[in-house]
Amino acid sequence: MKRIFLILALAATAGFIAAQDAEPSEALLTQMSRLEADAIDIRGLALDVPVKRVFPSRDDVVTFVAGQLDDLETQQYYRDAGLVYEAFDLLEPGTDIVAVLQELLVAQIGGYYDPETKQMNTLLITGDELTDRLPLLEQIVYVHEFTHALQDANFDMQAFFGGEDDLAFSTQYPDEAQARLALVEGDATEVMTAYTLMLSTERPAEILQEMDALMGLVSTLEIPPGTPKILEQELTFPYLQGQVFVQRLVAEGGWELVNEAFRNPPVSTEHIINPSKYLSGDMPHKVEVMDVSTTLGTGWEEHFSRTAGEFFVRRYLETQLDAFSVARAAGGWGGDTYRFYVNAESHAAAWVWKLSWDSTADATQFYEAMLRFMAQRYPTAVPEFSLCWSGSADTMCMAQPTPDTVVITKAPLREQASSMRDAAANN
């Protein structure tokens, strides 16, 4: 899976312009060189080899995105992700996640940098043809994408995401991969923001001239209706929360501290959500949870054993709890591991999840929030002393085996969920 660094237009409009056949003029190339110089000046990173500038059409981008998602391994990666999302109530059963992603990306890409070809792909969003200058929004987008070129030249983005097989890295370490992406996109978003502020100071007339049109476009910005919430959140988190993370680093130690973060990356989304934990060197707990597949019966195979992370914990809690309760319950996350199982015949899923907390108080707070979570998810279920809740399609069980850990299980049958919980809690 080749990782492409893109910026989202986030506009549910007609999208960018369909055809851009004209060769860029010298005036346009000069403007783009100035944009690159501004980005270099803001970010303080050098670029020894110039990037190639290309201007794809909408049809080009449709073909490009389809090509990115056409690889069988990539499709399997996303379908596996869809299975997990479904099993954790984050996606409606039967959702074709590959098709949803393709539609979402085609509609939303505002520009992208391809580290394999070293190409800057500039899309016209607000204009109707290639002229002697990029409109304001495209200038801002270009600065964002050129920042990715600077990152690639100085920190090697392929190596940063696991080398040749970044798909394997993202599969085994999804939380860490999300944290790294948040650093990358947060960095580019902060440079883009700094450039916009610089424009408003140095070239206010240019800003004023185009601001009305830009604000009119901004007023229409939204994710396309019907996009699953988890995909929207995963898409926007690196830009929004990533920028907050980078802003904290810049405030603490300037851009050099951001450079240091590329050399010593955040290892969890907890670091992105709580930058002070990254800055203090607070690392996630290593959490061991035993393989409980034998308690499920025959036909079950383990698909994953990996960390979910604070971002995922928050998204899961949001399926039943209000935002304030989610923030309180997830805030003391210390680490976790979940094992995910699939039955080859029935295609049913089951999981066991062990979470570690920073303190006993944090664990108890999460445990109590999960009691409310269960009451919401299983409104007609009356839990017995065993702390299992059953619905028409599945059962969930819970335990607090130590003062600072909580175990949760989910399976099609009550005896399965209960046996999984007991086995994991006692080991």
Q: Flag whether pLDDT at 16 surpasses 70.
A: no
Q: How far is CA 351 from CA 63, 227, 281, 308, 309, in A?
A: 37, 26, 31, 12, 15
Q: How confident is the model at residue 207 (pLDDT cuts 50, 70, 90)?
A: confident
Residues paired with 304 in a beta bridge: 340
Instruction: Give CA–CA dist 107/59, Å, rounded.
Output: 12
In the 8-state DSSP scheme, what is residue 370? H
Predicted pLDDT of residue 210: 66
CA angle 422, 338, 355 (to 5 degrees): 75
And the tokens for 80?
Answer: 């596996």
Q: How far is CA 411 from CA 39, 88, 230, 362, 389, in A?
A: 51, 11, 22, 26, 11
Predicted pLDDT of residue 12: 30
Short-list 227, 211, 335, 205, CA closest to 283: 335
Residues paired with 233 in a beta bridge: none
Amino acid letter, residue 120: M
* 376 touches 407 (CB < 8 A): no
- Round to the nearest angstrom and report the end-to-end CA distance of the chain: 37
Q: How confident is the model at residue 328 (pLDDT cuts 50, 70, 90)?
A: very high
In the 8-state DSSP scheme, what is residue 393? S
* 184 touches 241 (CB < 8 A): no
- Three-state DSSP class for 401? strand
Instruction: Give CA–CA dist 126/108, Å, rounded.
Output: 14
Q: How confident is the model at residue 128 (pLDDT cuts 50, 70, 90)?
A: low
Amino acid letter, residue 302: E
Q: Flag whether pLDDT at 7 surpasses 60.
A: no
Instruction: Give CA–CA dist 269/238, Å, rounded.
Output: 10
Q: Flag whether pLDDT at 20 surpasses 60.
A: no
Predicted pLDDT of residue 50: 92
| Mean pLDDT across the chain | 89
How confident is the model over 176-204, as pLDDT tens digits? 999 999 999 999 999 999 999 998 887 77
Short-list 274, 284, 278, 331, CA closest to 307: 284
- Three-state DSSP class for 369? helix
Residue with tokens 């424009």: 199
How confident is the model over 239-283, as pLDDT tens digits? 999 999 999 999 999 999 999 999 999 999 999 999 999 999 999
DSSP track, 348-363: -EEEEEEEEESSHHHH
Q: How confident is the model at residue 46 (pLDDT cuts 50, 70, 90)?
A: very high
How confident is the model over 53-98, as pLDDT tens digits? 998 887 888 888 888 888 888 889 999 999 999 999 999 999 999 8
Residue with tokens 């959702």: 95
